[in-house]
Amino acid sequence: MLAQGPRSTAPPAPRAPDPDRLAWIRREAARLEGRAPEEILGWAVQKVPAGLSLACSFGMQSVVLIDMLHRLGLLSRVEVFYLDTGLLFEETLAVREALRDRYGLEPVRVCPNLSLDEQARRYGDRLWERDPTRCCALRKVEPLRRYLAEKEAWITGLRRAHGKTRAKVPVLHWDAANGLMKINPMAAVDEKEIWRYIHRRSVPYNALYDQGYPSIGCAPCTRPVAPGEDPRSGRWAGQDKTECGIHVDGEVIKTAGSGI
């Protein structure tokens, strides 16, 4: 049985770091730049012995990070979670089952306060078509903030090659929007390297990648991408939007030089 995320209170105000903590994060980010993802994962588990979580989108970065933690003998030291928006592809949920079969993994299921029916009654049907930013806030950003309020750090699969909004993402920084340290072991990893790892290790992956989906989100808001297009152009196609908000602080993702 998957654990259920909180369904009631509004997200608390994010915690602010003290200056010494920020300075330490900057130093460690500089030191870890260029290191292998496995080394960064080992560092994370050592430095955050409790309250460390891994955000799992069931995408290619997530499955590789899970396999790496498994190979390092560290998977049990990290709480893996996913955001269940109620709108995930069946192919995405199939990866969840494959990870359970392979690693015995039971990721924590983090849900929105509102069911899809409740959201439709309050905001109208198919909110993602009329106001995708609000829909993402209700179904992703707010549930994530509630979940992370009790954590010390989280690991993501963010990569710089994902698009212009992520081009300078650091391997480590303070996540001001959620009030904790954020660790991005895959930031500098090339997509070809990820696929080599997946095929070499026979890691389960989302079948939608083989159908022209380089970036996979909620089913109503994701389309295949033509060769040469930005990898995230298939997300919210036709909208002036390429980020759901969970990796955005203000209007752009913070960079290593921003001090956050």
- The answer to whether 131 and 123 have CB atoms below 8 angstroms apart is yes
12 within domain boundaries: no
- What is the number of domains present in the chain? 1
Q: How many CB atoms lie within 10 A of CB 219?
A: 15
Q: Report pLDDT for 11.
A: 72
User: pLDDT tens across 15-43, in order?
Assistant: 888 999 999 999 999 999 999 999 999 99
pLDDT given for residue 194 in this prediction: 98
Q: What is the DSSP string of 91-139?
A: HHHHHHHHHHHHH----EEE--SS-HHHHHHHH-S-HHHH-HHHHHIII
Stated pTM of the model: 0.86
In-domain check, residue 1: no
List the CATH number of the domain containing 72.
3.40.50.620
- Is residue 2 scored above 80 in pLDDT? no
Is 9 a member of any domain? no
> Is 56 part of any domain?
yes
pLDDT grade for 14, boundaries at 50, 70 and 90 = confident
Q: Where are the alpha helices (DSSP H) in the chain?
A: 19-32, 37-47, 60-72, 90-103, 116-123, 127-130, 132-136, 142-148, 191-201
Per the domain annotation, does 27 fall within a domain? yes
Provide the domain limits for residue 106.
Answer: 19-258
The 10s digit of each residue's pLDDT in 121-149 is 999 999 999 999 999 999 999 999 999 99
- The more confident residue out of 113 and 235 is 113
Q: Kindly state whether residue 4 falls inside one of the protein's structural domains.
A: no
* Per-residue model confidence as pLDDT tens digits over 74-90: 999 999 999 999 999 99
Interval 162-181: pLDDT, tens? 666 667 899 999 999 999 99
6 falls within a domain: no
What is the phi-psi region of residue 189: left when phi exceeds 0, alpha when psi lies from -120 to 50, beta otherwise?
A: beta
Mean pLDDT of the region 208-214: 92
Residue 243 is predicted with a pLDDT of 45
Q: Is residue 113 over pLDDT 80?
A: yes
Q: Residue 110: inside a domain, yes or no?
A: yes
The residues assigned a catalytic role are 244
Percentage above 90 pLDDT, the chain? 73
